[in-house]
Structure 1
Amino acid sequence: MRRVLGLLAAALLVAAIVGPAAAAATPVTASGLAADIDGPGSGVDRSATTPAIAADPPTQVRPANATTQVRPANTTTQIRPVDPAQTAETCNATSNDAIGYWEGVCHDSELDVDPSDGLSDEELTRLVHRGMARVEYVRNRSFNRTVPVETMTREEYTTMISGNDSASGNDSASGNGSATGNRSEFNRWNDQVWKALFIVGEDGSSEEAIQGTLSGSVAGFYSPAQDRIVIVVPEGETLRISEATLVHELTHAMQDQYHNLSRPRYVGATQDSDLAIDGIVEGEAAYVENRYRERCETGEWECLPAPNDGGGGSSSGPANWGVYLTVFQPYSDGPAYVAEIVEEEGWSGVDERMEHPPNATAETIHREPRRPANITFTDTARNGWTTYPDQGVNGSDTAGEASMFTMFWYQNRQYGADTFDWRATLTDTSHPESVYNYDHPSTAGWAGDRLFPYRNDEGATERNGYVWVTEWRTALDAAQFHATYRQVLAAHDAVHREDGTRYVADGGFSGAYAIERNGTRVTIVHAPDSDAVFDLRPAIDPVQPIDGGATVTPLSPTIPDDGTPTAEPATSEEETDPTAEETPGFGIAAALAALAALTATALLARRRRG
């Protein structure tokens, strides 16, 4: 039976989206249920002062902070030898060297704690010590030092992430930002990334959508820079915390003690690599949390009842479900990814992945090695159109499979696009540790992508656009993505013009679109009008003949007016495939080489130039 990470708000962990250098947090939904995603209509805070791994989502945004003090790698940390784990019969240790024991508390100890009237400082301390013993017991290794735990209100947390984001300037995670920062330039660049994903339109702000989603979702976080856990609690109430959230964040603390989460390797240069890295970091913490929950459910461990306040999050759900689902992917697929590693290689395999994290969400979604294609790009824009060379990786971002899946999911849920039934992702998971299913034929063949936002400030008003080059494993995969993407445009009443472009007249995603499919590559160009599209990419050829070969149609059910999926596949335009041959093996994308140069952690907004 499918496992749902506890079904409690404080149980689901997601990387923070806005804020420099941080590490892990815990996300919550409106009701605390993993499946609490209503129908249509609706980075972990790596912050400067509190670089933290926000456990509540919504990946994507961890801008580096020029003033953040990043600790050097823990190369001198003394790791104690592993002692036998303490069982119910043998948990009589007197030293913290024993696994499953910390400061006089065993992993199976029953605490005389009554959480109904809140926790005293003494009770919280004992609960933390038992949590540390339990993490040790599951992970089969010792902590090296005690982990401080503090609390803050949700209002304080919201102020913190907003203030840090504004005050820091948010340097680029690649380390090439100025000390003063150019927040507006990054936001303009990042807005085009989220517009390309059809999640935040021109009439919205990616920064506000990300911050709004995060501020009401985080239940707690661990700060590697400050070696502390912070639990977010409701304003004016006595201290009640989720023991599951505590275990999750203590796992991050243990990761930091052994691997130093402040190291550059834990910051992705792109949106996709950031989410992928979080797949192993958050995946391990969620996997340990799941083992904790199992022992609570079987009665092996006495556990405190979870607070019924949902972590203090918003009762109306995330500000933007598309942002939420994007950033939640590491928390959903990460535990399954780690579970298979533990089963096949043991904990040593997890340690190896922590030292060499995955760099594409395709790897954590499919739980197999994926090497992104090396996509080269030559800027041919004219008439005042320029890229943002100081943002991202030489001006580009990589959306990746998880974000592209969310694009189609969100468009079906929010606008009724005939992509695939958004409800299916809530139930049709491929692994008992997964919460949602991010695997769909329209994006499963992803092999790489580079998204270049453009700007044009000549004339009376500023104009924006982008060129998005996507690579697919086979020509059939490319055709499937192409066909599904056209369903998104159709949902916005796009008019197909004689020059091959498709024009959306109004709304947050208005403007002209040109789509070219050539073998395993699909290139998308967007600008305010058709002339600008051809200025951005003069050689784009959106007028393509009907190919010979197999017909490709969208693979999902149509959602009729009553919201009930039909059994018949939806079709719009016939799409054919010139060849179904597998493309040769891909080399590692040159853009990923910038990973080694990063200087701080940050998820979706992590690449903001200072």
Structure 2
Amino acid sequence: MRPRAAALCVILVVLAGCSVPFSIGGEGTTGGPNGSGTNGAGDAGATATPDAPAQNLADPADDVLGWEGGYWYNESIPVTGTDGLNASEQSALVNRTMARIERVRGLEFESTVPVEVISREEFQGSPNATGGGARSPAFRTFDNAKFEALFLIGENNDSLAVQQSNSNQNVLGYYSPRNDSIVVVSDSETPKLGRSTLAHELVHALQDQQFNLSQGAPPTRDGYNARNGLVEGEARYVERRYESNCGGQWRCLDVGGAGGSGGGGDLHLGVYALEYFPYADGPAFVDAVYDRAGWQGVNDLYEDIPASSEQIIHPEKYGNDTPTNLTVRDRTASGWERVRPNGRPDYATLGQSGLSAMFGYTIYDDYNRSSVVRPDEFINSEGRSVNQTDPFDYALAYTDGWDGDRMAVYENDGKTGYVWKLAWDSPEEAREFVRGYRQLLSHWGGERVLGRQGVWEIERSSPFTDAFRVSRSGDTVTVVNAPQPSALDAVHARG
């Protein structure tokens, strides 16, 4: 066993105020970086800025950009926030924040967004915190195998429970497209409404009103991370532009801290890195599109959602590098059958973001002292601190050149195996991935099986004890997993 790297502690401190998405459909949030806060005297002294509408703060005859619910974006509100907010104060704060989001984003809210503030205790007892319903045995089997394949969650643990635990500790708030409302989670005895959290979730509400976040939920992890790279990326991008005005053009009231604190506790850093991807790389993707085509270019993204997390990591690939559509043919024997969850595809696509989290987690796990990538390859630092806005680098040498992947899961008498096919831009990129993957197997206690080409077996003391067959044909790599070497051909016969 090894002590966790010092960088782990740094990341826990830096990211404690951030949350991760816990359902498809935009219901996730992040606390964001700390803003400049208020001047300590609340907001009552704010005055109009030079670009105010003719210095006239009278209500307009019609709803206009930068005005919502009786408040201009640069209008003072009689709220100090020192003792929480009553209903009228919260309404004023929400409406003015909506007006400011309009001013930054250049889009009009179609209706007022209800906002509720609840305690973390209330949240953890709600359906949103418990997963929102039962999962079928086939779904659980499939999800467990997927996270085991990423070397993030061992087969003796429940992947859904680990993911939910991560979310429960860190969710600061969420917007529900189903209910057209925002819930903010407060860790204070007196419920507080954090400025960045409110701004972030209001961006989601604006996105939903303008682009309908409920449509076309992605069926795979990579599709989810790609879509949320846009949705969460834009929300963080707008949130940062909003924050940049605080202490300058605007006085910004904050009732509860600019970023919030989250619930603390024991985070699974590998799952965290996987789920944090949209917040880390999404803003830079949106910024690249904005620099090229302005807000209209960002609007157009909702008509043509990014096809992969690779396109978020490498914005120049958006629209130019369509992922390869792979197939996995069932070649099973001896009672092995494919796991087919109801209501979702019978395959997984994990993408470059998933692969990078897989390699990056070896920096943090406590299984042994090795790591497949160096901390400075995966962790973005600024001096002795981790970059608060973009902590992880998902463009690893072992994962660059990804061009598609597909995984099929199989089951036999309570045991699982899988076939994972990965396409790369070139044979050289495929070879590089294989080199990294072999190091990954070794990191987790794997050794080559004598007399079996490409076959590895991971020791029993490892959380990922299993057998693996790794083969490459040109630019395609195929990984076959089974409980022991003798079962590999039964899970997937050699082609």
TM-score interval, smaller chain: 0.7 to 0.9
Paired position in structure 1 for 2:372: 419
1:12-411 equivalences in 2 (<5 Å): 12=18, 14-17=20-23, 22-27=25-30, 87=52, 89-90=54-55, 92-95=57-60, 97-161=63-127, 165=131, 168-169=133-134, 183-234=136-187, 237-263=189-215, 265=216, 267-297=217-247, 299-305=248-254, 307=256, 311=260, 313-318=262-267, 320-368=268-316, 369=318, 370-390=321-341, 394-411=345-362
Contact (CA 8 Å) 1:154, 1:312: kept in 2 or not? Answer: no
**TM-superposed deviation, 1:480:** 1.0
Q: CA deviation at 1:531?
A: 0.9
1:536 Cα deviation after fit: 1.1
C-alpha contact 1:113 1:123 (8 A) present in aligned 2: yes
Change (3 A) 1:288 1:419: same
In structure 2, the residue matched to 1:475 is: 427
Tell me the residue number matched to 1:513: 468
Instruction: Give the conservation status (yes or no) of the 8 Å contact 2:67–2:73.
Output: yes
* TM-score of the aligned structures, taking structure 2 as reference length: 0.86
- In structure 1, the residue matched to 2:399 is 443
**Shift in Å, 1:190:** 0.6
Equivalent residue letter for 2:488: V
CA distance in 1, matches of 2:129, 2:193: 25
What amino acid maps onto 1:515 in structure 2?
V
Q: Secondary structure at the match of 1:256?
A: helix
1:21-48 CA-partner distances (Å, limit 9, x unpaired): 642322469xx89xxxxxxxxxxxxxxx
Query: Whole-Å Cα distance in 1 between the matches of residues 344 and 178 of structure 2?
Result: 25
Q: Distance in 2 between matches of 1:376 and 1:163?
A: 35
What is the Cα deviation at residue 109 of structure 1? 2.2
The alpha-carbon distance between structure 1 residues 16 and 227, as it changes in their structure 2 partners (threshold 3 A), is same
Equivalent position SS for 1:187: helix
Give the C-alpha shift of residue 122 in structure 1: 1.6
Q: For residue 140 of structure 1, report the CA deviation from its aligned partner.
A: 1.2
Matched letter for residue 476 of structure 1: E
Query: Residues of 2 paired with 1:342 and 1:310: CA distance?
Result: 25
Residue of structure 1 aligned with 2:483, choices 503, 519, 528: 528
For residue 230 of structure 1, give the secondary structure of its aligned residue in structure 2.
strand
Q: Secondary structure of 1:216's match?
A: helix
Contact 2:196–2:258 (CA<8 Å) still a contact in 1?
A: no
SS at match of 1:26: coil
Alignment deviations for residues 497-538 of structure 1 (CA, whole Å, 9 cap, x no partner): 121311112221001111001211111111110011121122
Equivalent residue number for residue 493 of structure 2:
538
Distance 2:81 2:354 in 1: 39
Partner of 2:408: 452
Secondary structure of 2:335's aligned partner: coil
Contact (CA 8 Å) 2:349, 2:407: kept in 1 or not? yes
Q: CA deviation at 1:474?
A: 1.0
Describe the shift of the 1:359–1:13 C-alpha distance in structure 2 as closer, same or farther (beyond 3 A): farther
Partner of 2:126, secondary structure, is helix
Is the Cα contact below 8 Å between 1:417 and 1:487 reproduced in 2?
no
Distance 1:28 1:130, change over 3 A: closer
Distance 1:412 1:239, change over 3 A: closer
Structure-2 change in CA distance of 1:485 and 1:417 (3 Å): farther
Counterpart-to-counterpart distance in 1, 2:154 and 2:15 = 31
Show the 5 A alignment for 1:544-555: none
Partner of 2:37: none
Within 2, Cα distance between the matches of 1:531 and 1:482? Answer: 22
CA–CA separation in structure 1 for the residues paired with 2:292 and 2:117:
38
| 1:210-267 deviations in Å (ceiling 9; x for gaps) | 01000011100111111111101126x212121111111111111111112111x2x1
> What code does the residue aligned with 1:293 have?
E
The CA deviation string for residues 458-510 of structure 1, in whole angstroms up to 9 with x for no partner, is xxxx2111111011111111111111111111112212112131111222100
Shift, 1:139, TM fit: 0.8
* Alpha-carbon contact 1:14-1:330 (below 8 Å) kept: no
- Which blocks of at least 5 consecutive residues in structure 1 are unaligned? 34-84, 171-182, 541-610
In structure 2, relative to structure 1, the CA distance for the partners of 1:208 and 1:390 (3 Å cut) is: closer
> Which residue does the alignment assign to 1:65?
none
For the residues of structure 2 that align with 1:117 and 1:290, how far apart are their CA atoms?
Answer: 26
CA distance in 1, matches of 2:255, 2:398: 39
Structure 1 476/93 Cα, relative in aligned 2: closer, same or farther at 3 Å? farther
Give distance in 2, aligned partners of 1:373 and 1:410: 26
Contact 2:21 2:275 in 1 (8 A): yes
1:284 Cα offset (Å):
1.2
Q: Counterparts of 2:160 and 2:469 in 1: how far apart (Å)?
A: 27
Q: For residues 483 and 151 of structure 1, what CA distance do their matches in structure 2 show?
A: 49
CA shift, 1:92, in A, is 2.6
Cα offset, 1:435, TM superposition: 4.4
Query: What residue identity is the alignment partner of 1:532?
Result: A
Deviation at 1:204, TM superposition (A): 1.0
Aligned residues: 456
Judge conservation of contact 1:362–1:446 (CA < 8 Å) in 2.
Answer: yes
Letter in 1 for 2:375: W
Distance (Å, rounded) in 2 between the aligned partners of 1:472 and 1:284: 29
Distance 1:243 1:308 in 2: 7
CA offsets per residue over residues 560-609 of structure 1, 9 Å max, x none? xxxxxxxxxxxxxxxxxxxxxxxxxxxxxxxxxxxxxxxxxxxxxxxxxx
Bigger mean CA offset, 215-224 vs 499-508: 499-508
